[in-house]
Structure 1
Protein backbone atom coordinates (compact mmCIF):
# COMPACT_ATOMS: atom_id res chain seq x y z
CA UNK A 1 0.00 0.00 0.00
CA UNK A 2 1.37 3.37 -1.07
CA UNK A 3 0.10 6.41 0.82
CA UNK A 4 0.74 10.09 0.11
CA UNK A 5 -0.23 12.17 3.13
CA UNK A 6 -0.23 15.77 4.30
CA UNK A 7 2.41 15.94 7.05
CA UNK A 8 0.89 19.11 8.55
CA UNK A 9 -2.67 17.84 9.08
CA UNK A 10 -1.62 14.15 9.02
CA UNK A 11 -4.32 13.21 6.53
CA UNK A 12 -3.91 10.93 3.48
CA UNK A 13 -4.41 12.56 0.09
CA UNK A 14 -3.71 9.54 -2.16
CA UNK A 15 -3.72 5.77 -1.64
CA UNK A 16 -2.93 2.98 -4.09
CA UNK A 17 -2.39 -0.77 -3.64
CA UNK A 18 -0.04 -2.70 -5.94
CA UNK A 19 1.63 -6.09 -6.01
CA UNK A 20 4.87 -6.33 -4.04
CA UNK A 21 6.94 -6.89 -7.20
CA UNK A 22 6.07 -3.47 -8.64
CA UNK A 23 8.87 -0.90 -8.60
CA UNK A 24 8.04 1.84 -6.10
CA UNK A 25 9.71 4.88 -7.68
CA UNK A 26 7.76 4.82 -10.99
CA UNK A 27 4.51 4.32 -9.04
CA UNK A 28 5.33 7.31 -6.86
CA UNK A 29 6.02 9.57 -9.84
CA UNK A 30 2.79 8.40 -11.50
CA UNK A 31 0.75 9.08 -8.36
CA UNK A 32 2.32 12.50 -7.91
CA UNK A 33 1.39 13.47 -11.46
CA UNK A 34 -2.16 12.13 -11.17
CA UNK A 35 -2.84 13.67 -7.76
CA UNK A 36 -1.54 17.12 -8.66
CA UNK A 37 -3.46 17.03 -11.94
CA UNK A 38 -6.69 16.16 -10.11
CA UNK A 39 -6.08 18.59 -7.24
CA UNK A 40 -3.95 21.52 -8.48
CA UNK A 41 -4.56 23.30 -5.17
CA UNK A 42 -2.28 20.74 -3.55
CA UNK A 43 0.54 21.87 -5.81
CA UNK A 44 0.10 25.46 -4.65
CA UNK A 45 0.00 24.45 -0.97
CA UNK A 46 2.84 21.94 -1.02
CA UNK A 47 6.27 23.33 -0.09
CA UNK A 48 8.19 20.08 0.27
CA UNK A 49 7.80 16.36 -0.36
CA UNK A 50 9.58 13.75 1.76
CA UNK A 51 10.10 10.00 1.49
CA UNK A 52 12.63 7.54 2.90
CA UNK A 53 15.76 6.46 1.05
CA UNK A 54 14.01 3.48 -0.52
CA UNK A 55 12.42 5.94 -2.97
CA UNK A 56 15.61 7.89 -3.66
CA UNK A 57 15.80 8.63 -7.39
CA UNK A 58 17.07 11.55 -9.43
CA UNK A 59 13.99 11.36 -11.67
CA UNK A 60 11.65 11.82 -8.70
CA UNK A 61 13.59 14.76 -7.29
CA UNK A 62 13.75 16.37 -10.71
CA UNK A 63 9.99 15.90 -11.23
CA UNK A 64 9.16 17.54 -7.91
CA UNK A 65 11.34 20.60 -8.39
CA UNK A 66 11.44 21.07 -12.17
CA UNK A 67 7.73 20.54 -12.72
CA UNK A 68 6.05 21.58 -9.48
CA UNK A 69 8.72 23.69 -7.69
CA UNK A 70 8.33 21.46 -4.63
CA UNK A 71 11.46 20.81 -2.60
CA UNK A 72 12.33 17.08 -2.35
CA UNK A 73 13.34 15.98 1.15
CA UNK A 74 14.34 12.43 0.27
CA UNK A 75 17.05 10.53 2.09
CA UNK A 76 19.91 9.61 -0.24
CA UNK A 77 21.21 6.08 -0.63
CA UNK A 78 24.95 5.40 -0.82
CA UNK A 79 25.41 3.89 -4.26
CA UNK A 80 28.96 4.95 -5.18
CA UNK A 81 30.94 1.72 -5.50
CA UNK A 82 33.99 2.42 -7.68
CA UNK A 83 35.97 3.99 -4.84
CA UNK A 84 35.23 1.05 -2.56
CA UNK A 85 37.08 -1.28 -4.96
CA UNK A 86 40.29 0.75 -4.83
CA UNK A 87 43.22 -0.58 -2.81
CA UNK A 88 43.69 1.17 0.49
CA UNK A 89 40.06 2.29 0.74
CA UNK A 90 39.07 3.09 4.32
CA UNK A 91 35.49 1.86 4.97
CA UNK A 92 35.13 4.40 7.76
CA UNK A 93 35.87 7.34 5.45
CA UNK A 94 33.33 9.31 3.41
CA UNK A 95 33.67 8.99 -0.35
CA UNK A 96 34.07 12.30 -2.16
CA UNK A 97 34.36 13.23 -5.83
CA UNK A 98 35.56 16.45 -7.49
CA UNK A 99 32.88 19.09 -7.77
CA UNK A 100 34.39 20.61 -10.91
CA UNK A 101 36.74 17.93 -12.34
CA UNK A 102 37.77 20.13 -15.27
CA UNK A 103 38.44 23.25 -13.18
CA UNK A 104 39.80 22.44 -9.72
CA UNK A 105 40.57 19.48 -7.51
CA UNK A 106 40.25 21.33 -4.19
CA UNK A 107 36.43 21.32 -4.20
CA UNK A 108 34.75 17.96 -3.63
CA UNK A 109 31.28 16.69 -2.74
CA UNK A 110 29.79 13.64 -1.08
CA UNK A 111 27.02 11.48 -2.47
CA UNK A 112 24.66 13.28 -0.08
CA UNK A 113 25.48 16.57 -1.83
CA UNK A 114 27.63 18.02 0.96
CA UNK A 115 30.22 20.37 -0.58
CA UNK A 116 33.71 20.39 0.94
CA UNK A 117 37.18 21.75 0.26
CA UNK A 118 40.57 20.07 0.53
CA UNK A 119 43.68 22.04 1.46
CA UNK A 120 46.40 21.31 -1.17
CA UNK A 121 49.10 21.68 1.50
CA UNK A 122 47.75 19.93 4.59
CA UNK A 123 45.06 17.72 3.03
CA UNK A 124 42.56 18.91 5.63
CA UNK A 125 38.95 18.75 4.43
CA UNK A 126 36.39 21.36 5.51
CA UNK A 127 32.66 21.65 4.91
CA UNK A 128 31.69 24.76 2.98
CA UNK A 129 29.20 27.04 4.72
CA UNK A 130 25.75 26.85 3.12
CA UNK A 131 24.48 30.35 2.32
CA UNK A 132 21.05 29.60 0.88
CA UNK A 133 19.36 28.62 -2.35
CA UNK A 134 18.72 31.02 -5.23
CA UNK A 135 15.50 29.68 -6.75
CA UNK A 136 15.58 32.12 -9.67
CA UNK A 137 18.98 30.75 -10.71
CA UNK A 138 18.52 27.12 -9.56
CA UNK A 139 21.75 27.55 -7.64
CA UNK A 140 23.00 26.52 -4.22
CA UNK A 141 25.24 29.13 -2.60
CA UNK A 142 28.22 28.12 -0.48
CA UNK A 143 30.94 30.16 1.14
CA UNK A 144 34.51 29.32 2.06
CA UNK A 145 34.62 28.46 5.79
CA UNK A 146 38.00 30.18 6.17
CA UNK A 147 36.62 33.39 4.70
CA UNK A 148 33.46 33.04 6.76
CA UNK A 149 35.35 33.15 10.05
CA UNK A 150 38.35 35.17 8.81
CA UNK A 151 40.81 32.29 9.15
CA UNK A 152 44.10 32.15 7.25
CA UNK A 153 44.70 28.90 5.32
CA UNK A 154 48.33 27.89 4.63
CA UNK A 155 47.50 26.13 1.37
CA UNK A 156 46.36 29.36 -0.21
CA UNK A 157 49.86 30.04 -1.56
CA UNK A 158 49.84 26.73 -3.43
CA UNK A 159 46.95 27.84 -5.63
CA UNK A 160 47.10 30.04 -8.74
CA UNK A 161 46.15 33.64 -8.05
CA UNK A 162 42.91 33.32 -10.03
CA UNK A 163 41.72 30.64 -7.58
CA UNK A 164 42.29 32.73 -4.49
CA UNK A 165 39.89 35.17 -2.92
CA UNK A 166 40.49 38.40 -1.06
CA UNK A 167 39.80 36.66 2.26
CA UNK A 168 42.86 34.38 1.99
CA UNK A 169 41.02 31.15 1.43
CA UNK A 170 41.41 28.24 -0.94
CA UNK A 171 38.76 29.04 -3.52
CA UNK A 172 36.55 31.92 -4.64
CA UNK A 173 34.76 33.60 -1.76
CA UNK A 174 31.42 32.28 -2.98
CA UNK A 175 30.83 29.06 -4.92
CA UNK A 176 27.52 28.88 -6.79
CA UNK A 177 26.83 25.23 -7.53
CA UNK A 178 24.39 24.70 -10.38
CA UNK A 179 22.70 21.46 -9.40
CA UNK A 180 20.61 20.95 -12.52
CA UNK A 181 23.08 18.33 -13.79
CA UNK A 182 22.74 16.12 -10.70
CA UNK A 183 19.30 16.38 -9.15
CA UNK A 184 19.83 13.31 -7.03
CA UNK A 185 22.73 14.62 -4.93
CA UNK A 186 22.03 18.36 -5.11
CA UNK A 187 18.59 19.56 -4.00
CA UNK A 188 17.25 23.03 -3.07
CA UNK A 189 17.32 22.13 0.64
CA UNK A 190 20.68 20.37 1.23
CA UNK A 191 20.64 16.92 2.79
CA UNK A 192 21.28 17.08 6.53
CA UNK A 193 20.58 20.81 6.91
CA UNK A 194 18.25 22.00 9.73
CA UNK A 195 15.47 22.71 7.20
CA UNK A 196 15.91 19.27 5.66
CA UNK A 197 15.69 17.56 9.04
CA UNK A 198 12.66 19.63 10.03
CA UNK A 199 10.63 18.48 7.04
CA UNK A 200 11.93 14.91 7.12
CA UNK A 201 11.05 14.55 10.80
CA UNK A 202 7.43 15.43 10.03
CA UNK A 203 7.33 12.47 7.65
CA UNK A 204 8.83 10.21 10.30
CA UNK A 205 6.26 11.35 12.88
CA UNK A 206 3.40 10.80 10.45
CA UNK A 207 4.59 7.32 9.49
Structure 2
Protein backbone atom coordinates (compact mmCIF):
# COMPACT_ATOMS: atom_id res chain seq x y z
CA UNK A 1 0.00 0.00 0.00
CA UNK A 2 1.19 3.54 -0.74
CA UNK A 3 -0.09 7.09 -0.54
CA UNK A 4 0.13 10.13 -2.84
CA UNK A 5 3.37 11.26 -1.18
CA UNK A 6 5.18 8.10 -2.21
CA UNK A 7 5.27 6.54 1.26
CA UNK A 8 5.08 2.74 0.99
CA UNK A 9 3.78 0.68 3.90
CA UNK A 10 4.12 -2.93 4.98
CA UNK A 11 1.92 -4.81 7.41
CA UNK A 12 3.05 -7.33 10.00
CA UNK A 13 1.38 -10.68 9.19
CA UNK A 14 1.06 -11.51 12.91
CA UNK A 15 -0.17 -8.26 14.46
CA UNK A 16 -1.34 -6.27 11.43
CA UNK A 17 0.83 -3.31 12.46
CA UNK A 18 1.43 -0.84 9.62
CA UNK A 19 4.97 0.51 9.20
CA UNK A 20 6.49 2.82 6.63
CA UNK A 21 9.15 1.12 4.53
CA UNK A 22 12.51 2.85 4.32
CA UNK A 23 14.13 4.25 1.21
CA UNK A 24 16.65 1.94 -0.45
CA UNK A 25 17.46 4.15 -3.41
CA UNK A 26 16.85 4.15 -7.16
CA UNK A 27 18.05 1.29 -9.34
CA UNK A 28 18.71 2.94 -12.69
CA UNK A 29 19.37 -0.25 -14.65
CA UNK A 30 16.02 -1.73 -13.53
CA UNK A 31 14.07 1.54 -13.47
CA UNK A 32 12.81 0.82 -9.97
CA UNK A 33 12.73 2.32 -6.50
CA UNK A 34 13.87 0.00 -3.76
CA UNK A 35 12.03 -0.02 -0.45
CA UNK A 36 13.44 -1.86 2.55
CA UNK A 37 11.86 -3.60 5.52
CA UNK A 38 11.71 -1.17 8.47
CA UNK A 39 12.22 -3.98 10.99
CA UNK A 40 15.54 -4.95 9.44
CA UNK A 41 16.65 -1.42 8.63
CA UNK A 42 15.88 0.18 11.99
CA UNK A 43 16.02 -2.85 14.28
CA UNK A 44 12.31 -2.74 15.12
CA UNK A 45 10.79 -5.87 16.65
CA UNK A 46 8.38 -7.53 14.24
CA UNK A 47 6.69 -10.73 15.33
CA UNK A 48 5.82 -11.84 11.80
CA UNK A 49 9.22 -11.30 10.18
CA UNK A 50 9.62 -15.01 9.32
CA UNK A 51 6.32 -15.10 7.39
CA UNK A 52 6.64 -11.62 5.88
CA UNK A 53 6.78 -11.50 2.09
CA UNK A 54 8.51 -8.09 2.00
CA UNK A 55 11.18 -8.67 4.65
CA UNK A 56 13.85 -8.76 1.92
CA UNK A 57 12.56 -5.47 0.50
CA UNK A 58 10.61 -4.69 -2.65
CA UNK A 59 11.24 -3.00 -5.97
CA UNK A 60 8.61 -0.66 -7.35
CA UNK A 61 8.77 0.06 -11.09
CA UNK A 62 8.46 3.74 -11.93
CA UNK A 63 5.72 2.75 -14.38
CA UNK A 64 3.49 1.82 -11.40
CA UNK A 65 2.54 5.49 -11.06
CA UNK A 66 4.97 7.94 -12.65
CA UNK A 67 3.60 10.94 -10.76
CA UNK A 68 4.25 9.32 -7.38
CA UNK A 69 7.26 7.10 -8.05
CA UNK A 70 10.09 9.20 -9.46
CA UNK A 71 13.85 8.53 -9.66
CA UNK A 72 14.27 10.74 -6.60
CA UNK A 73 12.06 9.15 -3.96
CA UNK A 74 9.32 11.58 -2.89
CA UNK A 75 9.65 10.38 0.69
CA UNK A 76 13.35 11.37 0.85
CA UNK A 77 15.17 14.45 2.09
CA UNK A 78 16.72 14.92 -1.35
CA UNK A 79 13.22 15.35 -2.85
CA UNK A 80 12.41 18.07 -0.30
CA UNK A 81 15.64 19.89 -1.12
CA UNK A 82 15.05 19.72 -4.88
CA UNK A 83 11.41 20.76 -4.51
CA UNK A 84 12.42 23.85 -2.52
CA UNK A 85 14.69 24.86 -5.42
CA UNK A 86 11.83 24.42 -7.86
CA UNK A 87 9.44 26.60 -5.89
CA UNK A 88 12.13 29.27 -5.48
CA UNK A 89 12.63 29.39 -9.25
CA UNK A 90 8.88 29.65 -9.79
CA UNK A 91 8.71 32.62 -7.40
CA UNK A 92 11.51 34.38 -9.28
CA UNK A 93 9.82 33.72 -12.62
CA UNK A 94 6.58 35.14 -11.26
CA UNK A 95 8.32 38.31 -10.09
CA UNK A 96 10.00 38.76 -13.46
CA UNK A 97 6.71 38.20 -15.25
CA UNK A 98 4.97 40.85 -13.16
CA UNK A 99 7.79 43.36 -13.60
CA UNK A 100 8.51 42.98 -17.32
CA UNK A 101 5.10 42.11 -18.77
CA UNK A 102 3.03 45.28 -18.90
CA UNK A 103 -0.19 43.86 -20.24
CA UNK A 104 -2.66 41.78 -18.33
CA UNK A 105 -2.72 38.13 -19.28
CA UNK A 106 -5.91 36.79 -20.78
CA UNK A 107 -7.73 34.43 -18.45
CA UNK A 108 -10.49 32.36 -20.11
CA UNK A 109 -13.91 33.30 -18.78
CA UNK A 110 -12.71 36.64 -17.42
CA UNK A 111 -13.64 39.93 -19.12
Q: TM-score, normalised by structure 2?
A: 0.69
RMSD, aligned α-carbons: 1.9
Matches within 5 A, 1:23-38: none
Matches within 5 A, 1:1-207: 108-156=1-49, 159=51, 163=53, 171-206=54-89, 207=91
Runs of 4+ in 1 over 3 A off after TM superposition: none
| Deviation readout 1:24-75 (Å, 9 max, x if unpaired) | xxxxxxxxxxxxxxxxxxxxxxxxxxxxxxxxxxxxxxxxxxxxxxxxxxxx
Q: Distance in 1 between matches of 2:3 and 2:84?
A: 22
Q: How many residues align?
A: 90
| Deviation readout 1:100-138 (Å, 9 max, x if unpaired) | xxxxxxxx1112221111123322211111011011110
Q: Distance in 1 between matches of 2:14 and 2:55?
A: 17
Gaps of 5+ in 2: 92-111
Report the structure number with the largest CA radius of gyration: 2
Q: Distance in 2 between matches of 1:150 and 1:135?
A: 28
- The structure with the greater share of residues assigned to strand is 1
Gaps of 5+ in 1: 1-107, 164-170
